[in-house]
């Protein structure tokens, strides 16, 4: 069995014939079935993956293969791939097949990546533990009693358990970085607009971004370089030039870091996570970087702002799932209205319904000003403060999450407790800046911890450069 270390080595090994795409796909399929209990994959695209492998093997022989030849990629189950099922881990999309591919999928395929299947996640990407999937929990491979994080739980687990080489997730408030932190992988949320959202099933459109989960920062840089860029199908995608992120990694640059005092002193921060972050700060200082504490007086407003605005957007985005256009339709309807009501009541899970109701409430005539408008104003204040810090510093450092992965059921009864899992990650989505989570040590409970680094808009190159230097 081929042992994957990084994409660069894999490419070299494919060239010399040490392995080939057909056997890589066969090995992946067999490992996924051996590790079925993890529940990371909702479906393996066996036939199309084998076909892609065969074609790519021919291209490798002919010397015409792309930059991701032979890289086995899994997709979060909210990213469309033409002719394949996609469900956002929801019963409401039962039986639905994508009519077109997401731009990111087209870009991956153009570089000869092999798409192996779709990955379990929280329903409509709403959750922090992958306990909200209609298709069951995903287990953390490092300790199966623990959650893998969410909402891109399957994406993180597939990489951590070596079921594929790279995965794509989506991040609205931390859904790439938090599961990456819980599984010891690297996860990056790009600048809003860096990567096209065309073909991503929307949760909260002004927050959502697609990004990679990988084993190394090097792989993350390469995949980001490929999936980034402007797209005529997504008006919010940026025309800013895409850097050659993988070429940015080697330079030895010295940077100025801010760490948010309130985050490091936050009540509820696990003391060992705090120590791990402080250790990284010491290491950075000892290596010629400047690290200073700054005030961030809005920490307590991050999560409420995120939940007011994202639920509002979700209530609008999810109104299209009505039992008529897509997927699931109730068998118990008597007329049009009961078709809508019953299809939605039966098709959506509890958390999704909670958020649709909350979002509808904050948008309703009587409460719009008090909640939605106010939320937008607070978003602006948080954005301005984040920009102000990033105009004076290269990066902002925080822990990725307040603690390590937790046991199943621990936060399920209390949504507020679950929502506070996102306290450090939502800032980057509220402001729209890029952020990465990299492993930064192992807790005494045996589980990994993550360091989050945020950078200014479109400074992914710089962000990946420093992330590649962090040693866990
Ligand atoms: N955990 C957050 C939530 O539940 C983030 C989700 C996400 O980024 N998609 O909304």
Q: How far apart are CA 154 and CA 119, in angstroms?
A: 5
Per the CB < 8 A criterion, the answer to whether 171 and 224 are in contact is: no
Would you give the distance in Å from CA 7 to the centre of its chain? 20
Give the pair of three-digit tokens for residue 209.
């971004």
Per the CB < 8 A criterion, the answer to whether 313 and 208 are in contact is: no
* pLDDT attached to residue 416: 84
User: Cα-Cα-Cα-Cα dihedral of 450, 454, 455, 457, to 10°?
Assistant: 130
The two beta strands, 435-442 and 395-399, are: unpaired
Per the CB < 8 A criterion, the answer to whether 385 and 396 are in contact is: no
Q: How far apart are CA 195 and CA 224, in angstroms?
A: 8
Active site residue 472: no
Domain coordinates in residue numbering, the chain:
7-247
Q: Is 31 exposed, middle or buried (0-12, 13-18, 19+ CB in 10 A)?
A: middle
List the chain pLDDT tens, one digit each, 472 residues: 999 999 999 999 999 999 999 999 999 999 999 999 999 999 999 999 999 999 999 999 999 999 999 999 999 999 999 999 999 999 999 999 999 999 999 999 999 999 999 999 999 999 999 999 999 999 999 999 999 999 999 999 999 999 999 999 999 999 999 999 999 999 999 999 999 999 999 999 999 999 999 999 999 999 999 999 999 999 999 999 999 999 989 999 999 999 999 889 888 899 999 999 999 999 999 999 999 999 999 999 999 999 999 999 999 999 999 999 889 999 999 999 999 999 999 999 999 999 999 999 999 999 999 999 999 999 999 999 999 999 999 999 999 999 999 999 999 888 888 888 899 999 999 999 999 999 999 999 999 999 999 999 999 999 999 999 998 7
Q: In this structure, how many other beta carbons lie within 10 angstroms of the beta carbon of residue 182?
A: 35
Q: How long is the chain? A: 472
Question: What is the Å distance from ligand 1's center to 175 Cα?
Answer: 5
Residues 6+ apart with CB under 8 A from 159: 165, 166, 167, 183, 185, 213, 214, 215
The end-to-end CA distance of the chain, in Å, is 27
Residues 6+ apart with CB under 8 A from 119: 40, 41, 42, 74, 75, 76, 77, 152, 154, 155, 158, 167
Cα–Cα distance list, 15 to 3, 5, 10, 25, 194 (Å): 16, 16, 9, 17, 32
- Whether 302 is in the pocket of ligand 1, judged by its Cβ within 6 Å, is no
* pLDDT attached to residue 361: 98
Select which of 151, 155, 170, 238 is catalytic: 151
Letter string b/e over residues 245-261, b meaning 16 or more CB atoms within 10 A of that residue's CB: bbebbeeeeebebbbbe
Would you give the distance in Å from CA 282 to the centre of its chain? 29
* pLDDT attached to residue 472: 79
Report the side by side order of strands in the sheet with 448-455. Answer: 41-44, 114-119, 72-76, 166-171, 209-214, 186-189, 435-442, 448-455, 395-399, 256-260, 290-294
Annotate 260-274 with DSSP letters as a single string.
Answer: EHHHHT-TT--HHHH
Query: Candidates 89, 150, 208: which one to mutate for ligand 1, based on the most atoms within 8 Å of Cβ?
Result: 150
* pLDDT attached to residue 126: 98
Give the 3-state secondary structure percentages of the chain, helix then strand then coil, rounded to 5.
45, 15, 40
Q: How far apart are CA 105 and CA 396, in angstroms?
A: 31
Active site residue 76: yes
Annotate 375-439 with DSSP letters as a single string.
Answer: HHHHHHHHHHHHHHHHHH-SEEEEESSSSS--BTTTTTT-HHHHHGGGTTTHHHHHHT--EEEEE
Q: Is pTM beyond 0.95 here?
A: yes
Active site residue 151: yes
Cα–Cα distance list, 365 to 256, 315, 319, 360, 368 (Å): 46, 14, 18, 10, 6
Select which of 98, 128, 155, 175 is catalytic: 175
Question: What is the Å distance from ligand 1's center to 150 Cα?
Answer: 7
Q: Per the CATH hierarchy, to which homologous superfamily does domain 7-247 belong?
A: Amidase signature (AS) domain (3.90.1300.10)
Q: In this structure, how many other beta carbons lie within 10 angstroms of the beta carbon of residue 100?
A: 14
Atom of ligand 1 nearest to the CA of 207: 8
Residues 6+ apart with CB under 8 A from 319: none
What is the Cα Rg of the chain in Å? 21
- Whether 422 is in the pocket of ligand 1, judged by its Cβ within 6 Å, is yes
Per the CB < 8 A criterion, the answer to whether 92 and 344 are in contact is: yes
Q: How far apart are CA 309 and CA 381, in angstroms?
A: 14
Q: How far apart are CA 47 and CA 53, in angstroms?
A: 10
Query: Candidates 78, 89, 120, 122: which one to mutate for ligand 1, based on the most atoms within 8 Å of Cβ?
Result: 122
Residues 6+ apart with CB under 8 A from 265: none
Q: In this structure, how many other beta carbons lie within 10 angstroms of the beta carbon of residue 18?
A: 11
Residues 6+ apart with CB under 8 A from 275: none
Cα–Cα distance list, 63 to 283, 338, 442 (Å): 43, 58, 42
- Whether 425 is in the pocket of ligand 1, judged by its Cβ within 6 Å, is no
């Amino acid at each position: 069995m081929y042992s994957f270390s990084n994409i660069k080595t894999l490419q070299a090994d494919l060239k010399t014939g040490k392995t080939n795409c057909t056997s890589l796909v066969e090995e992946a399929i067999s490992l996924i079935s051996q590790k079925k209990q993890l529940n990371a994959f909702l479906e393996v695209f066996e036939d199309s993956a084998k076909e892609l492998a065969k074609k790519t093997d021919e291209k490798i022989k002919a010397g015409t293969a792309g930059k991701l030849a032979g890289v086995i990629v899994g997709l979060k189950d909210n990213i469309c791939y033409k002719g394949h099922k996609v469900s956002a881990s929801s019963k409401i999309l039962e039986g639905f097949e994508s009519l077109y591919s997401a731009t990111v999928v087209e870009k991956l395929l153009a570089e000869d990546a092999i798409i192996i299947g779709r990955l379990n996640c929280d329903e409509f990407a709403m959750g922090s533990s992958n306990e909200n999937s209609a298709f069951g929990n995903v287990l953390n491979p490092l300790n199966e009693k623990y959650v893998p994080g969410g909402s891109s739980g399957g994406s993180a687990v597939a990489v951590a358990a070596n079921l594929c080489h790279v995965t794509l997730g989506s991040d609205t408030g931390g859904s790439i970085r938090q599961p990456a932190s819980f599984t010891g992988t690297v996860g990056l949320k790009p600048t809003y607009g860096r990567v096209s959202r065309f073909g991503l099933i929307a949760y909260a459109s002004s927050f959502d971004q697609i990004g990679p989960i990988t084993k190394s920062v090097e792989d993350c840089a390469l995949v980001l370089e490929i999936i980034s860029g402007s797209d005529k199908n997504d008006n919010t995608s940026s025309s800013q030039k895409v850097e050659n992120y993988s070429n940015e990694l080697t330079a030895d640059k010295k940077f100025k870091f801010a760490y948010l005092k309130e985050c490091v002193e936050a009540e509820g921060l696990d003391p060992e996570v705090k120590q791990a972050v402080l250790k990284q700060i010491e290491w950075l200082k000892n290596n010629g970087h400047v690290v200073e504490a700054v005030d961030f007086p809005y920490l307590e407003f991050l999560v409420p702002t995120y939940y007011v605005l994202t639920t509002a957007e979700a209530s609008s985005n999810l109104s299209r799932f009505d039992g008529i256009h897509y997927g699931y339709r109730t068998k118990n309807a008597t007329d049009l209205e009961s078709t809508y009501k019953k299809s939605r009541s039966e098709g959506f899970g509890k958390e999704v319904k909670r958020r649709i109701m909350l979002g509808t409430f904050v948008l309703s005539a009587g409460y719009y000003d008090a909640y939605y408008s106010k939320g937008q104003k607070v978003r602006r204040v948080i954005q301005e403060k984040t920009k102000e810090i990033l105009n004076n510093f290269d990066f902002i450092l925080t822990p990725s999450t307040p603690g390590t992965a937790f046991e199943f059921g621990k936060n399920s009864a209390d949504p507020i407790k679950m929502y506070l899992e996102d306290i450090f990650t939502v800032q980057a989505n509220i402001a729209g800046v890029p952020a990465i989570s990299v492993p930064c040590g192992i807790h005494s409970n045996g589980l990994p911890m993550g360091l989050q680094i945020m950078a200014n808009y479109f400074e992914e190159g710089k962000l990946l450069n420093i992330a590649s230097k962090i040693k866990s």
